[in-house]
Amino acid sequence: MDWLLAPVDAARAHEVGLAVAWHGRSMVLAWGLLAPLAVLIARYFKVMPGQDWPRELDNQTWWRSHWLGQSVVVLLTIVGIALVFGGGGDWNLHARLGYAVLVLALAQVGFGLFRGTKGGPGDVDIHGDHYDMTPWRVMFEWVHKLTGYGLLVIAMLTVALGLWHANAPVWMWLSLGLWWVALAVASIRLQRRGFAIDTYQAIWGPGSEHPGNRRKPIGWGIRRPDHRQPGE
């Protein structure tokens, strides 16, 4: 099993300082493990398995999981960047992409804080940016989704470049690669089974009296189901 512990490039040594080592651990945990999982949950579990939709609406499990997961991701990113900030390392592609990831992650947080009001039946005021699908809410959803998916791709590439620069051992590459493959397979299966349900209908149901149901859902592959459970 020595080959698992060996650096992926036998011609180079795997020698990193303490700060760089913890930088790598923070960023791999954030963007290699947690962020893809949080995105998968947000996309495919707006209606939970076994939930009696549309009689049972607005299940908050996906939102809490996504919010908590991505909050941890942003905190780990800040910590990870701080560990190597001003360390005098090369201003290579990995470093440039890393700072881009930090900026985009903070932008996602900032933009999310200004996503507008919710509204809808049962709220203090039925009229809200989300329930009425105002132009601001439509813009927010497009920007948040496109930036989020783009950020995830950039971050995963940055993690891979970081592992290469550190000449990480083979077991790290295999573990992370298998995790990414598992998430990709799960995503394909969930997409094919119709779990990518429109956020609006997951919250308020399919009724035509809801103004957001009169416009197309936002994003690729988003489904507006009938009264059947996803996967049926």
pLDDT (tens digit, 9 = 90+) per residue, 80-93?
999 999 776 778 99
Host H or E run for residue 109:
helix 93-113
The phi, psi pair for 155, rounded to 5°, reads -65, -40
Residue 15 binned pLDDT confidence (cut-offs 50, 70, 90): confident
**Rounded mean pLDDT of 24-33?**
97
CATH dotted code for 16-214? 1.20.120
Q: How many CB atoms lie within 10 A of CB 90?
A: 8
Is it the case that residue 229 has pLDDT exceeding 60? no
pTM (2 d.p.) = 0.91
Is 80 exceeded by the pLDDT of residue 46? yes
Q: Is the peptide bond before 54 cis (omega within 30 degrees of 0)?
A: yes
pLDDT higher than threshold 60 for residue 224: yes
Q: What is the mean pLDDT of residues 133-159?
A: 97
User: Which phi and psi angles does 207 have, rounded to 5°?
Assistant: -60, 140
232: pLDDT strictly greater than 60: no
Q: Which residues touch 218 (CB under 8 Å, ≥6 apart)?
A: 138, 141, 142, 145
Domain ranges of the chain: 16-214
- Can you say whether residue 219 is alpha, beta or left, with left for phi > 0 and alpha for psi between -120 and 50 degrees? left
3-class secondary structure for 180-217?
HHHHHHHHHHHHHCCCCECHHHHHHCCCCCCHHHHCCC
